[in-house]
Structure 1
Amino acid sequence: MDRTEEDMKFVGFFGIFKQSFKTIFSWKKIFAQITLTLILPLTIVFLVHLEISHRVFLNIQSNSFLQLDPNDDDGRQASATDWLYYMLFKIVYFILLTLFSLLSTAAVVFTIASIYTDREIVFRNVMKVVPKVWKRLIVTFSFIYLSLFIYDVIAEIALAISRSIFGNSIVGVIFLTIIVIVYILGFLYLSVVWQLASVVTVLENTQGFGAIKKGKHLANGKKIVGMGIGFVLYGFLLGLLFMYEMFVEYSRGYFELAMVWRVLIGILCGLLLLMLFLLFFVTQTVLYLVCKSHHREVIDKLSLSTFLEAYMGETVAYPTVGEDIQLGRAQPQQV
């Protein structure tokens, strides 16, 4: 973090990626430790979910998302027990994914904030902080999941209305395309707000809906940059998943790859996914710093350092609203 606060507000799309990569490579040891301890289990959970879903619950998933022929008995083989196991599997996956996501978020945000304030960074100190932040992050994550659920329900209703009115006609296809584009743009914008809200939860005296509201405020003025970053990262994620599905999961039906090649490609996808998850967490923190500077909100390094140091004590002394330590005071305009 060699940029001044004045420089940070002018950082754009490529600058955020450049700063993120520079931060990771300049502090390889601490980020490698965080990756192996927290992000690697997140990646394993993600890939194991894909494997089990395809090998054990593929039939149930097909029934959930495809409209089956009423006369087709193949889609009705799943018993109540199968559905119970499927729901339990999804619940366990959701819990583990959320757990490692919020732990990784706390560790990376604290680390980058420490780098920004020129504090000494020790891995054991980072791990001490994580348990003290996860409860606050759970509140924010709960509001994020709730907003995502509401957003998906609205999208499903729009799709259902479009199908019921226009069916499979050309007009229906046009409306479907418009709905999909609007959904993607809306999701990218919400993802920017959610990412900023996660960082706000760790570094400021707010959580839950308040953090999301603050994230929405910070996104203003940098939403295009944030959405562009999200588009690239999510696009790369989809590309990795497509590669994994095509060459590892379904290679027998398409390319007939030997087992050794399937294993090597699977390992490669896992490593790339691991690095992608790390980049997700780093870029959201760098974006937060850029947005704070863009809104001319003071990021007092001494106060922030004091706030981070409070995490190392037995209790966390959260700042009161209006203190510099909250990083929320607007800078005076220079004449």
Structure 2
Amino acid sequence: MDRDQHELQFLGFPGVYRESSKIILKWRKIFAQITLALILPLCVVFLAHSLVSHLLTFRIVDHEDDRDYASEGSQSYRDLSHALKKEWVAFWLTMLGYFIFVFIFSLLSTSAVVYTVACIYAAKQITFKKIMSVVPRVWKRLMATFLWTFVTFVAFFVVAVALLIGWVVIVSAFLVGSGLAIAVLVILLILYVVVFVYLTMIWQLASVISVLEDVYGRKAMVKSRRLIKGKMGMSVGCFLGVMLWSALVEGLFECLVVLDLVQGIGIKIAGGLICLLLLLMVVLFDLVVQTVIYFVCKSYHHENIDKSSLSEHLEVYLGDYVPLKANSVQLEQLHV
């Protein structure tokens, strides 16, 4: 990262994108190794799950339709019921395996990329072997932060469902006009999206904090909320940009591979490989962007990270990963 710390605070989301691109291009060898080792399995499973879940869902729907037309108690009905039980078991086992795999490799990928960008920032020598030795020691901190985030999202979804049920009850009980009912529903949907995006950004920044500092879990989320103040617009722009590209890649994969909108196995294979390559780039870019946002927010709040101290805390000492400590690198406040 060639920019001076003071300059980072002035970056908007286009500047963050440019800085992230420069980092990836300059250190493309090490990022390529991380991508092949950690991000590639994550993306392969993500796309494969999209295809497999689609096939299982359509098979279940077809068999349920066939069973509806079969006479209850007939051999055909029993065979279809037995097949449906197996398919539902396969569906939920696939979902469980998918979430476990994605959960683990997401944490490992985040650990590797955040640590790498921090080493680049500190002008510290890094090798792929060293990165892979550090990753298993820091992912537990990320897991603690994820669990707190999960609890927060569950509470958010419960409140959202409660508000939706309340809206339905009020509309039904008081015969609210359709215009007013739709207006209230639109407001609720907007609030839902705003809070969802906000919580996601808090989670992403908290993940970076969990790797680079000595706080994690709830404390990392609290600190993330404080750091993101003043840079909300930049963070939202970065988040929405990456989300847009992710949605485009997923939509392209659905059209070319999942939904049979194109004919020919060769075209499907080529389309799948192109989507995989694009998704690899999007995921890597997103993780680098999240780390750059951390340094931008630090700079914005005039919290100066000493590069030599950061380098020391990134060292693996006697096999133990030493994160940034709040009292030593916590960044002395620069009063301007």
TM-score if structure 2 supplies the norm length?
0.88
Question: The residue matched to 1:106 in structure 2 has which SS?
Answer: helix
Larger Rg: 2
1:125–1:312 contact (8 Å) kept in structure 2: no
Whether 2:175 is the aligned partner of 1:166: answer no
Structure 1 counterpart of 2:150, from 145, 154, 175: 145
The aligned residue for residue 137 of structure 2 is 132
1:227 Cα deviation from its structure 2 partner: 1.0
1:30 Cα deviation from its structure 2 partner: 0.4
1:59 Cα deviation from its structure 2 partner: 5.9
The aligned residue for residue 242 of structure 1 is 251
Query: Residues 1-335 of structure 1: matches in 2 within 5 Å?
Result: 1-58=1-58, 79-166=84-171, 169-251=178-260, 255-309=261-315, 311=316, 313-318=318-323, 321-324=326-329, 327-331=330-334, 333-334=335-336
1:80 Cα deviation from its structure 2 partner: 4.6
Question: The residue matched to 2:125 in structure 1 has which SS?
Answer: coil
Q: Partner amino acid for 2:160?
A: A
2:314–2:323 contact (8 Å) kept in structure 1: no
1:291 Cα deviation from its structure 2 partner: 0.2
1:129–1:312 contact (8 Å) kept in structure 2: no
**Uncovered stretches (5+) of structure 2, i.e. residues with no partner:** 71-79
Q: Work out the CA distance in 1 between the residues paired with 2:61 and 2:26.
A: 43
Count of aligned positions: 321
Q: Work out the CA distance in 2 between the residues paired with 1:9 and 1:183.
A: 29
CA 41–20 in structure 1, closer or farther in 2 if over 3 Å, else same? same
CA 81–142 in structure 1, closer or farther in 2 if over 3 Å, else same? same
- For residues 38-91 of structure 1, give each alpha carbon's deviation from its aligned partner in whole angstroms, at most 9, with x where no partner exists: 0001101111111110112346699xxxxx99xx679x9684544333332222
- For residues 78-118 of structure 1, give each alpha carbon's deviation from its aligned partner in whole angstroms, at most 9, with x where no partner exists: 84544333332222111110111010111101110110011
2:310–2:324 contact (8 Å) kept in structure 1: no
**Uncovered stretches (5+) of structure 1, i.e. residues with no partner:** 63-67
CA 259–81 in structure 1, closer or farther in 2 if over 3 Å, else same? closer
Question: The residue matched to 2:320 in structure 1 has which SS?
Answer: coil
Q: Work out the CA distance in 2 between the residues paired with 1:268 and 1:289.
A: 32
1:320 Cα deviation from its structure 2 partner: 5.2
- For residues 15-56 of structure 1, give each alpha carbon's deviation from its aligned partner in whole angstroms, at most 9, with x where no partner exists: 000000010001110000001110001101111111110112
Q: Work out the CA distance in 1 between the residues paired with 2:182 and 2:264.
A: 40
Q: Work out the CA distance in 2 between the residues paired with 1:243 and 1:233.
A: 15
Segment of structure 1 superposing worse, 210-219 or 78-87: 78-87
Q: Partner amino acid for 2:227?
A: L
Question: The residue matched to 1:202 in structure 2 has which SS?
Answer: helix
Q: Partner amino acid for 1:296?
A: H
- For residues 180-239 of structure 1, give each alpha carbon's deviation from its aligned partner in whole angstroms, at most 9, with x where no partner exists: 222222222111111110010011001110111111111111111101111111122112
Q: Work out the CA distance in 1 between the residues paired with 2:324 and 2:193.
A: 37
TM-score if structure 1 supplies the norm length?
0.88
RMSD, aligned CA: 2.6
Question: The residue matched to 2:216 in structure 1 has which SS?
Answer: coil
- For residues 241-271 of structure 1, give each alpha carbon's deviation from its aligned partner in whole angstroms, at most 9, with x where no partner exists: 22221232112xxx44322222222211111
Q: Work out the CA distance in 1 between the residues paired with 2:138 and 2:275.
A: 31
- For residues 116-154 of structure 1, give each alpha carbon's deviation from its aligned partner in whole angstroms, at most 9, with x where no partner exists: 011111111111110110111111111112212222222
Question: The residue matched to 2:327 in structure 1 has which SS?
Answer: coil
1:117–1:301 contact (8 Å) kept in structure 2: yes
The aligned residue for residue 65 of structure 1 is none
Q: Work out the CA distance in 2 between the residues paired with 1:146 and 1:45.
A: 25
Q: Percent identity over the alignment?
A: 38
Question: The residue matched to 1:57 in structure 2 has which SS?
Answer: helix
Q: Work out the CA distance in 2 between the residues paired with 1:73 and 1:113.
A: 61
Question: The residue matched to 2:321 in structure 1 has which SS?
Answer: coil
Segment of structure 1 superposing worse, 153-162 or 164-173: 164-173
Q: Work out the CA distance in 2 between the residues paired with 1:101 and 1:320.
A: 24
Q: Work out the CA distance in 1 between the residues paired with 2:59 and 2:323.
A: 49
Q: Partner amino acid for 1:257?
A: Q
